[in-house]
Amino acid sequence: MARGLDPEFLQQLKSKINLVELVESYVPLERKGGNWWGRCPFHHEKTPSFTVNDEGQFYHCFGCGVSGDAITFVREIESVDFMDAVKILAERAKMPVPEMNFDTEKTAELKKKRDEVLKILKASARFYLNNLNSGKADAHVQYILDRKISSSIVRKFGLGASLDFRSLPQFLLDAGFSRENILESGVVTESEKNGRLIDAQGGRLIFPIINAIGDVIAFGGRVLEKTDFAKYKNTKETMVFNKSKNLYNINQVKKLKQAEGLKSIIVVEGYMDTISLFQAGFTNVVASMGTALTKDQARLAKRYADNVFISYDGDFAGQKGAVRGLEILRDEQINVRVVPLPEGLDPDDVIKRQGSEGYRACLEAAMPLIDFKLETVRRKFDLSKTEEKRNYIAEALKVIGEAESESIKEDLLKRVRSETGMTYESLKRDLDNTPAAPRTSDQPEHVLREDNADGQVKACRFILASVLFDAKYARNFDLSRVRFDNPVHNTIAEYIRLRKNMGQPVRASALFEIFDENTPELSEILDLSLGETLEGEKAEKYFEGCVRTLERAQVESEMARLSALCDAEADLKKKREITRQILELAVRLKNF
């Protein structure tokens, strides 16, 4: 589907993009045979099952079944829509994006509204920035000075000031934006009392939230005086902003990776922690914006580094909330560690009191997940009390049972021995009889899918894959010899026939312009491109068997149709003619 763009432009764009190089900018790949392999960026896996077909310019995961072309990959990996993915690739290929000819009014209207919302957000960011520099934002400037934020960091993060509740709505209306779209952007809300428009961040210090491609998509705001309102708040979720799918400062982390490469990312809770660490030289920092870390945020972080340090507040009650985030990161195959901070301090406090070296020492003392979980359990109990000590041992052994190696289990058991006074031998016996705590994951690890399709469906898939991927034995095969009843199979066959009739090459990647990339049958056919499945004498014989299977099925289907027709026919002459046709088909059937 061209989504309103000239199909020829899309073909030229994709022809200028080397998919292997594109994917390698996000995921390490290794060449094996004719394809490139790596761990899938879209699901957790230990053994690489994600492959990029350089010749066909498409990717496919044999584990979870995702597949697509360059546009699909960018759309999924960057969490952007179709047009933004095209823009990213066009910039990479140094191609201008032509004007769009939308297929439907609804699509055009949605695109127009989204563009308008982004314009409103950008205009609001400039408005807030001008306020900060207007000489009227004394309280905001004083807060920045008190927090020792340099002017260069203020500019880099685009900090701004909301002076009141009315001036931003009026500014946006005067700029010609519609009331509906202003409300849609989330920067302005409607008063419940009189319906007047008010600044959603009225009076606050403003932190623009910018996505990975550089668009302002929302704002965070901090109050400057003691109040009953929340100290920090974000603008509402909109068509361009979903807090659970974004990380604050991801735009600068992306630039850092492109310029220097990244080994790790530090995840903190809030805006000021991010800014303080960045100013202290820890520029690989992002914030989850006060929310518990989500699977989408974990996947976003993984695009930039495989090592993540969780650096939440130092009060242990608060850090207990990091456990779930740690497990989400672990389930995305990320090496995760917890940064221990002095009790009661957050990263910003550590920087102020101990400087960058003090925080670096905290980073160097970061604990692996299982150690942190054991420490979390330890702090729940008073070990001076017999019953609580026994409860601690029971819970600790469940955690230790999760350890991936016997040496780690031994090390952790020795720690519990020292804490409780129990013998190592008794703890080891209890551990051997204790089931490990279940891994908490939103979904089980994907494995290669079981294929329960019937013989005819499998035959259709193999024939189409053989022709699609240009197997030697299938190059001159006429697809009209067999019938494809499945709509997906039939559409693929029609595409192949059309391209061959026009004397043009058959491209597997073109199928992603026809089907949704998650179409199950398309995924099954792409699975067959794995390794040498379509090559060699064995594959050729199987192909011939598949053709016979479908041709036999067609004959049997036609015989059944004619038999029913014969039974219903009253005219004797017509009945004899139908019987003759049935007998001819029966002879053909014997030859299979």
pLDDT band at 191 (very low <50, low <70, confident <90, very high): confident
> Does residue 156 share a domain with residue 58?
no
- Is the pLDDT at 60 greater than 60? The verdict is yes
What is the structure's pLDDT at 303? 78
Q: What is the pLDDT of residues 527-564, one digit of tens each?
A: 787 666 788 888 899 999 899 888 888 888 888 888 88
> Is 35 a domain residue?
yes
Average pLDDT of the chain is 84
Instruction: Quote the number of domains for the chain.
Output: 4
Residues with Cβ within 8 Å of residue 227, at least 6 apart in sequence: none
| Least trusted range by pLDDT, from 34-43, 158-167, 579-588 | 579-588
**4-8, 205-209, 212-216: least confidently modelled range:** 4-8
Same domain, 201 and 79: no
Pair (112, 45) in one structural domain: no
Amino acid occupying residue 364: E
Please report whether residue 366 resides in a domain.
no
pLDDT digits (tens, 9 = 90+) for 477-517: 999 888 888 888 888 998 888 888 888 878 787 787 777 65
Classify residue 309: in a domain, yes or no: no
Same domain, 121 and 208: yes
Structure confidence at residue 592 (pLDDT): 62
Residue 422: inside a domain: yes
Rounded Cα–Cα distance for residues 107 and 110 (Å):
5
Indicate whether 122 and 23 sit together in one domain: no
Query: Do 16 and 121 lie in a common domain?
Result: no
Which of 271-280, 287-296, 384-393, 409-418 is most confident? 271-280
Phi and psi (nearest 5°) for 208? -65, 135
Give the list of residues 6+ apart from residue 326 with CB closer than 8 angstroms, or none: 310, 336, 338, 369, 372, 373
Non-local CB neighbours of 120 within 8 Å, separated by 6+ positions: 172, 177, 181, 182, 185, 187
Domain of 174, CATH number, reads 3.90.980.10
- Proportion of the chain above pLDDT 70, given as a percent: 89
Please identify, among 207, 241, 275, the residue that sits at the C-terminal boundary of a domain: 241
Judge whether 535 lies within some domain: yes
Cα 250 to Cα 247, 433, 469, distances in angstroms = 6, 45, 39
Same domain, residue pair 89 and 109 = no
CB burial readout 540-553, b (16+ within 10 A) else e: bebbeebbebbbbb
How confident is the model at residue 99, as a pLDDT? 61
Q: Is the pLDDT of residue 445 over 60?
A: no
Q: Is residue 572 part of a domain?
A: yes
Residue 85 belongs to a domain with what CATH number?
Answer: 3.90.580.10
Is 60 exceeded by the pLDDT of residue 446? no
Sign of the CA dihedral with 126 first, then 131, 134, and 137 last? negative
**pLDDT category of residue 32 using cuts at 50, 70 and 90:** confident
pLDDT tens across 140-181, in order?
999 999 999 999 999 999 999 999 999 999 999 999 999 999
Do residues 401 and 472 share a domain? no
Domain stop point among 35, 70, 93? 93
Residues 487 and 567 in one domain: yes
CA-CA distance, 590 to 108, in Å (whole number)?
58
Same domain, 460 and 584: yes
Are 197 and 235 in the same domain?
yes
Contact 52/70 with Cβ under 8 angstroms? no
Q: If DSSP states are collapsed to H, E and C, what string results for 194-221?
A: CCCEEECCCCCEEEEEECCCCCEEEEEE
**Token pair belonging to 388:** 């609580």
12 falls within a domain = yes
Q: Band of the pLDDT at 314, cuts 50, 70, 90?
A: low
pLDDT over 70 at 451, yes or no: no
- Asked, for residue 275, whether it belongs to a domain, the answer is no
Domain ends where: 51, 70, 93?
93
Question: Looking at the predicted structure, is the pLDDT value of residue 212 above 90?
Answer: no
State the residue range of the domain holding 514. Answer: 455-590
Q: Is the pLDDT of residue 322 over 70?
A: no
Say whether both 115 and 71 belong to one domain.
Answer: no
pLDDT score for 2 = 45
